[in-house]
Amino acid sequence: MIDRWSQIVTTAAFLVLISATAATAHEGAGHGGGFISGLTHPIFGLDHVIAMVAVGLWGVFLGRPALFILPIVFPLIMAFGGAMGVLGIPVPAVEAGIAASAVVLGLLIAFAVKAPLPLAAAIVGVFAIFHGHAHGTELPESASAATYSIGFVLSTGMLHLVGIGLGEVMRGSIGRIAARGLGGIIALMGAAFLTGLA
């Protein structure tokens, strides 16, 4: 089990690195530019990265079916938030919402909170709107909105897989302590973004 998740995490990290290299080579217009811009956008914002990894990590704490449902709910609702951003529909306090997502998700992990699935999905869904709206409002002018959205949804999924992989690797009593510590670090980083220290 651990070997399988290690392979998934390694593959996801490799794909992220490839996409980052491609982004510098193909920044620009059209469908390719939209897809690459969308794919790399979440990974260039540490506030996005820590929250998206936290979704996967919390899913491991909650177990099945949350392990599978949360990483599906987040990108789907995020795509809706992205469409709102592209259409210019305002969402208040987007940056604060993104930072708060890291604080809340980090604390949920740190305290090993076992929320019921509907509540967990609602928490993740609300925060996904903020992340999606930020992606949508930053759509490059010359890029395709559809391919850009596909890109940031795929990238988000890879970050969720990283969180799931970390959670699976950290099984066992010592591993769970380490995972809860990681949740605390995520919460502190989110607080730094929320207060403007980062």
Which domain does 98 fall in, by range?
A: 2-195
pLDDT at residue number 3: 52
pLDDT at residue number 153: 87
pLDDT at residue number 145: 79
Question: Of 142, 158, 131, 132, whose CA–CA distance to 27 is shortest?
Answer: 142
pLDDT at residue number 91: 94
pLDDT at residue number 147: 85
Between helix 30-40 and helix 2-25 the angle, nearest 10°, is 130
Type of residue numbered 47: D
Number of domains composing the chain: 1
Low-confidence ranges of the chain (pLDDT < 70): 1-33, 142
